[in-house]
Structure 1
Amino acid sequence: MTACSRRNFVSGMGALILTTGTTVSLMAQGGTNYADKTIRYAMVHDETACIGCTACMDACREVNQVPEGVSRLEIIRSEPMGEFPNVEYEFFRQSCQHCTNAPCVSVCPTGASFIDRKTGIVDVHKDLCVGCQYCVAVCPYRVRFIHPIHKTADKCNFCRDTNLAQGKQPACVESCPTNALTFGDMNDPTSAVVQKVRANPVYRTKVQLGTEPNLYHIPFGKGEHRS
Structure 2
Amino acid sequence: MDSSRRQFLGSIGQVTIGAAASIAGANSADAASGSATDATNATGPHWGMVIDLRKCIGCQACTVACIMENDVPEDALRTNVSVYEVVKEGRDPAMVMLPRLCNHCDEPPCIPVCPVGATYKKEGTGEVLVDASVCVGCAYCVQACPYDARFINHETQTADKCTFCVHRTEAGLLPACVETCVGGARIFGDLNDPESTVSRLLAENDVSVLRPEMHTAPNVYYIQLDEALDGRVAGEAAYRPMVTDAPESHGESV
The 1:25/1:147 distance shift into structure 2, 3 A limit, reads closer
1:191 maps to which residue?
196
- Checking the alignment, whether the CA contact within 8 Å between 1:200 and 1:218 is kept in structure 2 is yes
Residues 112-140 of structure 1 show CA distances to partners (whole Å, capped at 9, x for unaligned) of 10000111000000100010111111111
Aligned residues: 202
CA distance in 2, matches of 1:124, 1:198: 31
Q: Secondary structure at the match of 1:177?
A: coil
Of structures 1 and 2, the one scoring higher in RCO (CA 8 A, sep 6+) is 1
Percent identity, aligned pairs only, is: 37
CA distance in 2, matches of 1:91, 1:101: 26
2:147 maps to which residue?
141
- Checking the alignment, whether the CA contact within 8 Å between 1:113 and 1:125 is kept in structure 2 is yes
The 1:226/1:167 distance shift into structure 2, 3 A limit, reads closer
Normalised by the length of structure 2, the TM-score is: 0.72
Give structure 1 stretches of 5+ with no counterpart.
3-21
2:81 maps to which residue?
75
Q: Secondary structure at the match of 1:42?
A: strand
Residues 22-41 of structure 1 show CA distances to partners (whole Å, capped at 9, x for unaligned) of 96245537484845462211
CA distance in 2, matches of 1:133, 1:116: 20
After TM superposition, give the deviation of residue 91 of structure 1 in Å.
0.6
Q: Secondary structure at the match of 1:105?
A: coil
The 1:217/1:209 distance shift into structure 2, 3 A limit, reads same
2:214 maps to which residue?
209
After TM superposition, give the deviation of residue 49 of structure 1 in Å.
0.5
Residue of structure 1 aligned with 2:68, choices 62, 66, 72:
62
- Checking the alignment, whether the CA contact within 8 Å between 2:53 and 2:185 is kept in structure 1 is yes
- Which segment is superposed worse, 204-213 or 95-104? 204-213
CA distance in 2, matches of 1:49, 1:100: 27
Which amino acid is 1:188 matched to?
Answer: D
The 1:27/1:208 distance shift into structure 2, 3 A limit, reads farther
Residues 26-85 of structure 1 show CA distances to partners (whole Å, capped at 9, x for unaligned) of 553748484546221100111110000000000000001101100000101111669xxx
Report the aligned-residue RMSD: 2.5
- Checking the alignment, whether the CA contact within 8 Å between 2:78 and 2:101 is kept in structure 1 is yes
The 1:226/1:35 distance shift into structure 2, 3 A limit, reads closer
Q: Secondary structure at the match of 2:95?
A: coil
Which amino acid is 1:121 matched to?
Answer: E
CA distance in 1, matches of 2:39, 2:73: 37
Residue of structure 1 aligned with 2:127, choices 121, 135, 147:
121
Which amino acid is 1:164 matched to?
Answer: T
